[in-house]
Amino acid sequence: MINPFRPYRARLRRLVGRSMPDFHAGAVERWEEAPGSVLRFHPSLALPGQVERIKASVFASLPATIEALTRDGEAAEAPTMAWRFRDVDLVDGVLYHGAAELHLNRRKRKFGLALRPRQAIRGALYETWATNRWFGSWLMDALVASQLAQTTGMAMTTAPAPRPGSHAARYEELAGVHPGRIAGDVHFDEMVLFDDLGNNLSKGLRQRALRLQLLAGRDPAPVPGVFLLRGTGGDLRLLQNETELAERLAAERGFLVMDPLKATADELIEACGAARAIVGVEGSHLAHGIMVAPPGAAIVPIQPPERVAATLKQLADRLEQRFALLVAEGGDSLFTLDWRDLAATLDLFD
């Protein structure tokens, strides 16, 4: 049953300035689920001066982000790891084991304390803080990691059941993901965690298999490209001339323009499944297109100069697509992009 003092112990350690122990060091067993790989990477296609426009990055340091976007040659990718634990408490979105803690969700209660004991369970979790925070991370990482958890026969998640008819609900249905749902505080007699962040060969194979699952039974029509609108949805990253760029792509290059907030998952899959290019402001909504676009497709995220990220390139690399580095001008939430830069970047793929 839940030990109500574990959250106190973790907080006391921080208050007195003691370092937090490594959560994974407390596992009773660890193993390599899939080996690391040395993979061949191609640099992003870019116009001169794009790297110089980058002012700041997210999810990784600026040097690491630029390296991931521009690397040319072989690079080692980490293995997929698994850990087995015993006697773990999940309290208000945080896992506690001994004096260590691992956050999966934002705390909802002020003190994060266990309210009442629950029946002990066994489970294999395939989520992370990032996949619970951002839809794009869930779509590009949790869905492929769920395949690992399902092989244990005890796949579980703290994420609530998605709303019927939502994108997430449809993707779970198409991918055959049916996890147990954890509601509230629980105690794990046994728990398995996975680290599936490495962009290794195994993850690439699972990603490509998922693409085939999403496209099964469909015959999407080839199109020059799809522009996925972001607008003001999600965290504010507003391309101030987004409408102008979308309209020119449609009129001059035959692109489809779609608003993911107004389209079903099936409509997005059908539109993007044979698209030669996926374009839009960098963000979760682009994962709809990248997940199903064919090998060789041009992936062109429009990066805010103060919020450049390389995560979508990792997904494109797994799916053998080509990637562009295209940086707008402005800040992290309000920015613009010259049409000539967009058009010239797309021409790099011809």
Q: What is the pLDDT at residue 113? A: 57
Q: What is the pLDDT at residue 108? A: 82
State the architecture of 62-74+217-347 in CATH terms.
3-Layer(aba) Sandwich (3.40)
d(C-alpha 102, C-alpha 186), whole Å: 15
Q: What is the pLDDT at residue 183? A: 87
CA angle 262, 265, 266 (to 5 degrees): 110
Q: What is the pLDDT at residue 99? A: 87
- The neighbour count for residue 329, using CB atoms within 10 Å, is 12
List the chain pLDDT tens, one digit each, 350 residues: 556 556 555 655 555 556 679 999 999 999 999 999 999 999 999 999 999 999 999 999 999 999 999 999 999 999 999 999 999 999 999 999 988 999 999 888 765 555 555 678 999 999 999 999 999 999 999 999 999 999 999 999 999 999 999 999 999 999 999 999 998 899 999 999 999 999 999 999 999 999 999 999 999 999 999 999 997 777 788 999 999 999 999 999 999 999 999 999 999 999 999 999 999 999 999 999 999 999 999 999 999 999 999 999 999 999 999 999 999 999 989 999 999 999 999 999 98
Q: List, in sequence order, every beta strand (DSSP E) within 213-297.
A: 226-228, 238-239, 256-258, 277-281
Cβ proximity of 160 and 132 under 8 Å: no
Question: Residue for token digits 């690992």?
Answer: 148
d(C-alpha 69, C-alpha 312), whole Å: 10
Q: What is the pLDDT at residue 231? A: 78
Q: What is the pLDDT at residue 242? A: 97
Q: What is the pLDDT at residue 236? A: 82
Q: What is the pLDDT at residue 235? A: 76
Q: What is the pLDDT at residue 285? A: 95
Give first-to-last CA distance, the chain, whole Å. Answer: 61
Element (H, E) at 322: strand 322-323
pTM of the predicted structure, to 2 decimals = 0.92
Closest residue by Cα to residue 202 from 71, 67, 81: 81
d(C-alpha 238, C-alpha 229), whole Å: 10
Name the residue ranges covered by the structural domains of the chain: 6-32+79-200, 62-74+217-347
